[in-house]
């Protein structure tokens, strides 16, 4: 009988000293919405193009208005670049994003990016010759017919249209449907932190899709839970990547967002990963408080910017929210059987509990 | 009446002091093949999805054998990263390419990348959960219905299957079908250089798809040809990007290839470009002489590597071959009328001739 | 009465699953030697140029022969670049080091670098117009008259000449004389790991000079030791930087060494640091098994190189050795009183012991 | 008999289409001052430490007020990082400079950096534990006893105190005293451009210290002047590096300054250089219009920032001002005999004149 799933905090874990936002989710950053499209169909032997399918699309909508006419400041950090994410080169160069952020599986990136373009151009009437879709990925081949590339425009639109603020569904949903984490079932996780900056309070939100690490590496609140569980006979699976997205309503410049994104490494490392050779451990951070107009009224913009003297708390918030997001992904994901009978078992919370005492 | 087109060298121009290879083309690097798929259809007013179409796909096949089981060392340099090319993050991280290199237009990158995946998986039987397609792009919206994304698997396969060694078709073909260069008709250009390294001779080949620069910036062999032509009434068009690929059969490491790639900037600059804000001026360099096996027999490889003491000539060869490739693209491209009657005029060689005296 | 100091492993801690080398020190990499010059003089009120002095120089000699005529492959990773280390730009570009690696305090980098040049030129007869000294730094101003820049050629030569293989003195010595770690007394720490690669065994060694972090961030083997100690009334001090050096006798390319260096972040993060805004958290990794001759006999070198398929164990070894080095630095450092009566207290091992149960 | 020297523009050359500032110098950016200390002493055979000396220090003072309490936004671009410049890592990380910018010779960087620290701490009373001196370098060993490291605090102070606005002395002065350029005598050169940005006009100023390139590479206004002169029997010397500094009073962010700095490559390339293997071709750009306070009154700053839509003109200005600065350095430098009778001949303007027709 399966243990009931719960978020890490409900389980009694506290990561770091900062308060969370209202929903302890990336959507605590005002204006940010998240939607998933989850596809689970078929069973048994994998036949390319037919399934079984255990995959999906997760959409992060950074702001409610038109991102293309009012771009958002953003920054990127590549922990290990063995990955197929698209759109990040331009983000690194000019420091802005101009489309929703999508996450899907490795071989589906292109089709999802094209689906996003089709949606923006044909459905939303964006008649622009240059659009930079940002699509990131984890590899769910262990459970899903990844070579079949089952996600297309339909699923992209579904994920985008499903986007809402408030609570975010975690675990085996969206891009996390078929992913692992330290050999267990992984998925989507989210968390948030409140940062004080003088008299103002800002929110930092994180959302991850986990797929990284080997079972013996897993640490929860510093405890070598993975190693202990393996001694109890847990079955390992190959490690992969992790996609990490950070959002904030603080006015951070693109260089500052790059630096905040780099601290996701610290949160990730605390859960045990070494960022393996074939990992695409990628971090994208954006701010809703620095908008870059497509057609500015004046050549000189006037923009708010957090002083670097106050940036340390954002580093802390980013690392802590990432760490908790990873745990949430694992704590909420349920066991899933995929192609060829391959199974990713949910982290056995009942066995974890005594190990964290 | 149109002037007959010819390559820069046939026109009497000599770039730098090094000798060219047999065909003065990237295919002078043994094993490298190039193929184009050119699509020109429709006329008149642009209707998204219907055309007119002036675009294509160019495929560079770096080696005749299976790239996935025997990857090629590669390096990347980003001059300006306002571009949508995919696959480069992984090349930068691990220093290898594992698929053909494709070039197409900006909004067609995703569809072409997916077409390449489909070809590799379904047609070639590559059953791998992680494949890193490298697809680069220029923006041909001025002549073509770019939002229609007309290139897909069919065109990808056609370009790959058309690939051959020997002479490379230049001008308005493949990914260069609808592109510009300094406001004139641009396209595909190629060139090569022979480098002596002790008693050995190596080849450096270049292939570019031009789309960069404004008319007044064009310099040919240092002469301000663009400015002079504008005084004679040439009609300007917007500037964009340039994609530059370098190949060599010298055993250069990924870091050395990155450094060689950086010298493409010098060749580009000599033709006048400033690498504008919205340019995706990207360089990819690969070596056919350092292969990285998917499944090495031994954990320690033994590999040749050019001493840095001998790398200067490769820098020179790269810059010169790029400069000549750009000129070849312009010298070979013919006037083309595209969507909405938009016209990119061939560089008027008859008017250029007296300016180069 | 002070607790007797011991290394983390003697204390009963085990970091990761890999074996250590004979001395659990960077000197386990054959040919690598370490020397310290420690200067402790004066007491009381700080007067710039007079002291009190609590600083030093640590020298890492990567190989016993002439580094300038036979350079070593190296790679760099910058976690946070608020630092004054010199020489790293050239290492990043060409992937080699050609001098001993020195570590000292922030404002003393220049004088130490000049001292190293003077030693190489005047004492060792190196008549070369271009020499790239590598000098890294931590900030020991809390205990020492840092503005006085008390380290010069004399101390550089002393550190180099004191270098030996075998056991490395840890704690408040050399560049770690006056440094902190999570608000406690920090210093020099070292560790090593054995990596299997097919049938061969290689060593990865680490040496750190700690100065990073705030007391509440300290984690030991995942346990929030810092926070617990603060509840017991530990007095905090400001956080700073950490310098991390990795050595290996495995033939890793400069790009691979850069990637291995990046995993020091994971080891650092596990001890609690967030890499603060004003940290110079810098990693330098070198290999003794890939030498680059100043004057190669042939233009094409033939070099061994670990296949990337076997690099994961080096990542693990690097992170683990760094984590243990940091703990060793703290476990071995003794309480030190410096300028103006400022005191950095040794990590109270007696109080730590029950917290790690 | 020597030809009289003159600046490129007085010679009749015009680089690009933008207007220059009042003095066609980096000092046209309001508040920027430049000073040189030139040391020419001794003749004949080189004896390390005794001379002959042909070197110096050039100081760029970015603003008249206290840079440490009100830092300036800055960005860095490394064309080729075989160089010993210090301070750039921190500039790249946090995007600010906080000291005067000094330029000297390769082996003198450390001593000059320490001299600057000593001046700031002891003479100016800067009691700060962390100061990031920015010192850049070219290699003047061909004429000067570079191993002797003759520049110290005295020369640093002399250069800083000599700094003034208005005309900048060019040619064989300061850090350019002993340097070459394409085998001829090089030195310091400067230039500026006016950029319109909406209704506002900004200035971009450049200052270079040339030491790069081989004689046959030299191009002036696109003409292969170097090659032609060599046919006339000019004696070549080894190539080295170029240091390029850009200043502007436009409010560019650190990321924008990095991007502007990258366009110095284009200006450099147009004079013929390929940025050789052992070149330290480095660009530092700063803005006087974005100041970052050491102790901000509010955690959120409000800062002006040029829209990227208007950045192209800054790219053009940077490249053109760099190109003209390089020519000015060569046009103004006079023949100089140095150690061991080594001679760098002034560019023979009388022979150049007919070649530019």
Helices (H) then strands (E): counts for chain D: 8, 15
- Cα-flanking dihedrals φ and ψ of residue A239, to 5°? -90, 160
Mean pLDDT of the region D133-151: 97
DSSP run (H or E) holding D352: helix D349-355
Looking at residue A67, what is its pLDDT?
97
Q: Identify each DSSP E strand in chain A by its residue range.
A: 33-41, 53-61, 70-81, 96-97, 101-105, 134-138, 180-181, 184-185, 188-197, 200-210, 242-248, 280-293, 300-306, 336-337, 343-344
The reply to whether A270 touches chain C by the CB within 8 Å rule is yes
Contacts of D72 (CB under 8 A, 6+ apart): D62, D63, D96, D97, D98, D286, D287, D288, D290, D291, D292
On the question of a cis peptide bond just before residue B174, with omega within 30 degrees of 0, the verdict is: no
Digit-coded pLDDT (tens) for D264-280: 999 999 999 999 999 99
The reply to whether A97 touches chain D by the CB within 8 Å rule is no
Rounded to 5°, the CA angle C285-C286-C287 comes to 140
**Contact (Cβ atoms closer than 8 angstroms) between residue D145 and residue D47:** yes
The one catalytic residue in D144, D172, D241, D253 is D241
Out of C223, C224, C270, the one facing A269 most closely (by C-beta) is: C270
Residue of B277, B306, B323 to mutate when probing chain D, most D C-beta within 10 A: B277
User: Structure tokens of D278?
Assistant: 């052992």
Query: Counting one residue from A and one from B, how many pairs have CB atoms under 8 Å apart?
Result: 120
Looking at residue B292, what is its pLDDT?
97
State how far the Cα of C338 lies from the Cα of A274, in Å rounded to an integer. Answer: 38
The reply to whether C253 touches chain B by the CB within 8 Å rule is yes
CB-CB under 8 Å, B221 with D221: no
Catalytic (active-site) positions of B: 241, 279, 281
On the question of a cis peptide bond just before residue B80, with omega within 30 degrees of 0, the verdict is: no
Q: How far apart are the first and last CA of chain B?
A: 23
Ranges of residues in chain C with a pLDDT under 50 are: 1-2
Residue D255: closest CA among chain A residues belongs to which residue?
A255
CATH number of B26-293+305-338: 3.60.70.12
Q: Chain A partners of D295 at a C-beta cutoff of 8 Å? A: 309
Looking at residue C235, what is its pLDDT?
65
Q: Chain A partners of B85 at a C-beta cutoff of 8 Å? A: 89
> How crowded is residue B53: how many other Cβ atoms within 10 Å of its Cβ?
23
Digit-coded pLDDT (tens) for D221-239: 888 999 999 888 766 566 6
Looking at residue A301, what is its pLDDT?
97
Query: SS3 of A176, please?
Result: helix
State how far the Cα of C179 lies from the Cα of A95, in Å rounded to an integer. Answer: 37
Residue C96: closest CA among chain B residues belongs to which residue?
B308
State how far the Cα of C217 lies from the Cα of C182, in Å rounded to an integer. Answer: 7
Digit-coded pLDDT (tens) for A313-348: 999 999 999 999 999 999 999 999 999 999 999 999
The reply to whether A298 touches chain D by the CB within 8 Å rule is yes
| Per-residue confidence band for A4, with pLDDT thresholds at 50, 70 and 90 | confident
Instruction: Enter the ipTM.
Output: 0.96
% of chain D exceeding 90 in pLDDT: 92
| Per-residue confidence band for A357, with pLDDT thresholds at 50, 70 and 90 | confident
SS (H, E, C) chain B: CCCCCCCCCCCCCCCCCCCCCCCCCHHHCCCCEEEEEEEEECCCCCECCCECEEEEEEEEECCCCCCCCEEEEEEEEEEEECCCCECHHHHHHHCEECCCEEEEEHHHHHHHHHHHHHHHHHHCCCCCCCCCCEEEEECCCCCCCHHHCCCCHHHHHHHHHCCECCCCCCECCHHHCCCEECCEECCEEEEEEEEEECCEEEEEEEEEEECCCCHHHCCECCECHHHHHHHCCCCCCCCCCEEEEEEECCCCCHHHHHHHHHCHHHHHHHCCCCCCCCCEEEEEEEEEEEEEECCCCCCEEEEEEECHHHCHHHHHHHHHHHHHHHHHHHHHCCCEECHHHCEECCCCHHHHHHHCC
Nearest to D102 by CA among D46, D43, D62: D62
**Contact (Cβ atoms closer than 8 angstroms) between residue C285 and residue C249:** no
Digit-coded pLDDT (tens) for A301-322: 999 999 999 999 999 999 999 9
State how far the Cα of D225 lies from the Cα of D229, in Å rounded to an integer. Answer: 6
State how far the Cα of A327 lies from the Cα of A187, in Å rounded to an integer. Answer: 10
Q: For chain D, what is the mean pLDDT?
A: 95
Ranges of residues in chain B with a pLDDT under 50 are: 1-2
Looking at residue C221, what is its pLDDT?
85
User: Structure tokens of D329?
Assistant: 């350095």
Catalytic (active-site) positions of C: 241, 279, 281
The reply to whether C113 touches chain D by the CB within 8 Å rule is yes
Mean pLDDT of the region D126-131: 95
Report the gap between the CA of A301 and the closest CA in chain D (Å): 5
Mean pLDDT of the region A230-254: 86
Digit-coded pLDDT (tens) for C243-253: 999 999 999 99
Handedness of CA B225, B227, B229, B234 (dihedral sign): positive
Instruction: Please state the length of chain D.
Output: 357
| Per-residue confidence band for A3, with pLDDT thresholds at 50, 70 and 90 | low
> How crowded is residue A67: how many other Cβ atoms within 10 Å of its Cβ?
21
CB-CB under 8 Å, D17 with B276: no
- Cα-flanking dihedrals φ and ψ of residue D277, to 5°? -50, -40
Mean pLDDT of the region D116-131: 97
Q: Chain C partners of A231 at a C-beta cutoff of 8 Å? A: none
State how far the Cα of A47 lies from the Cα of B127, in Å rounded to an integer. Answer: 11
- Burial code (b: 16+ CB inside 10 Å, e: under 16) for D76-102 equals bbbbbbbbbbbbbbbbbbbbbbbbbbb
Characterize the bridge pairing of strands C134-138 and C101-105.
parallel
φ/ψ region of C111 (left if φ > 0, alpha if ψ in -120 to 50, else beta) reads alpha
| Per-residue confidence band for A1, with pLDDT thresholds at 50, 70 and 90 | very low
Out of D106, D117, D129, the one facing C141 most closely (by C-beta) is: D129
D351, burial (CB in 10 Å: exposed 0-12, middle 13-18, buried 19+): middle
Nearest to B271 by CA among D326, D269, D324, D13: D269
Rounded to 5°, the CA angle D43-D46-D52 comes to 40
SS (H, E, C) chain C: CCCCCCCCCCCCCCCCCCCCCCCCCHHHCCCCEEEEEEEEECCCCCECCCECEEEEEEEEECCCCCCCCEEEEEEEEEEEECCCCECHHHHHHHCEECCCEEEEEHHHHHHHHHHHHHHHHHHCCCCCCCCCCEEEEECCCCCCCHHHCCCCHHHHHHHHHCCECCCCCCECCHHHCCCEECCEECCEEEEEEEEEECCEEEEEEEEEEECCCCHHHCCECCECHHHHHHHCCCCCCCCCCEEEEEEECCCCCHHHHHHHHHCHHHHHHHCCCCCCCCCEEEEEEEEEEEEEECCCCCCEEEEEEECHHHCHHHHHHHHHHHHHHHHHHHHHCCCEECHHHCEECCCCHHHHHHHCC
**DSSP secondary structure string, A87-151?**
SHHHHHHH-EE-S-EEEEEGGGHHHHHHHHHHIIIIIT----S----EEEEE--TTTS-GGG---
Looking at residue B57, what is its pLDDT?
98
Assess whether pLDDT exceeds 90 at residue A230.
Answer: no
State how far the Cα of C39 lies from the Cα of C311, in Å rounded to an integer. Answer: 40
User: Structure tokens of D12?
Assistant: 């009749």
Looking at residue A235, what is its pLDDT?
65
Out of C83, C86, C106, the one facing D129 most closely (by C-beta) is: C106
SS (H, E, C) C294-325: CCCCCCEEEEEEECHHHCHHHHHHHHHHHHHH
């Amino acid at each position: 009988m399966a243990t009931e799933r719960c978020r890490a905090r409900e389980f009694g874990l506290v990561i770091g000293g900062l308060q969370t936002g209202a929903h302890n989710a990336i959507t605590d950053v005002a204006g940010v919405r998240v939607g998933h499209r989850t596809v689970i169909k078929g069973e048994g032997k994998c036949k390319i193009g037919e399934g079984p399918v255990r995959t999906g699309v997760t959409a992060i909508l950074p702001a409610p208005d038109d991102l293309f006419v009012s771009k958002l400041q953003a920054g990127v950090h590549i922990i290990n670049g063995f990955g197929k994410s698209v759109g990040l080169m331009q983000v690194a160069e000019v420091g802005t994003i101009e489309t929703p952020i999508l996450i899907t599986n490795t071989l589906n990136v292109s089709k999802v990016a094209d689906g996003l373009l089709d949606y923006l151009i044909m459905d939303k009437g964006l008649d622009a010759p240059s659009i930079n879709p940002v699509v990131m990925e984890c590899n769910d081949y262990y459970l899903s017919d990844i070579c079949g590339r089952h996600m297309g425009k339909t699923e992209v639109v579904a994920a985008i249209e499903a986007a809402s603020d408030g609570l975010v569904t975690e675990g085996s949903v969206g891009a996390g449907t078929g992913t692992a984490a330290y050999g267990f079932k992984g998925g989507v996780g989210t968390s948030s932190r409140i940062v004080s900056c003088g008299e103002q309070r800002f929110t930092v939100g994180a959302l991850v899709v986990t797929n990284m690490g080997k079972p013996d590496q897993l640490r929860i609140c510093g405890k070598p839970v993975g190693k202990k569980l393996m001694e109890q006979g847990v079955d390992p699976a190959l490690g992969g990547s992790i996609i990490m997205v950070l959002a904030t309503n603080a006015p951070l410049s693109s260089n500052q967002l790059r630096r905040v994104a780099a601290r996701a490494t610290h949160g990730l490392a605390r859960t045990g990963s070494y960022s393996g050779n074939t990992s695409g451990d990628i971090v994208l951070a954006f701010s809703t408080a620095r908008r870059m107009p497509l057609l500015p009224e004046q050549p000189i913009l006037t923009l708010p910017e957090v002083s670097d003297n106050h940036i340390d708390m954002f580093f802390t918030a980013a690392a802590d929210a990432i760490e908790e997001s990873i745990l949430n992904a694992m704590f909420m994901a349920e066991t899933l059987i995929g192609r060829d009978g391959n199974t990713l078992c949910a982290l056995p919370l009942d066995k974890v509990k005594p190990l964290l005492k």
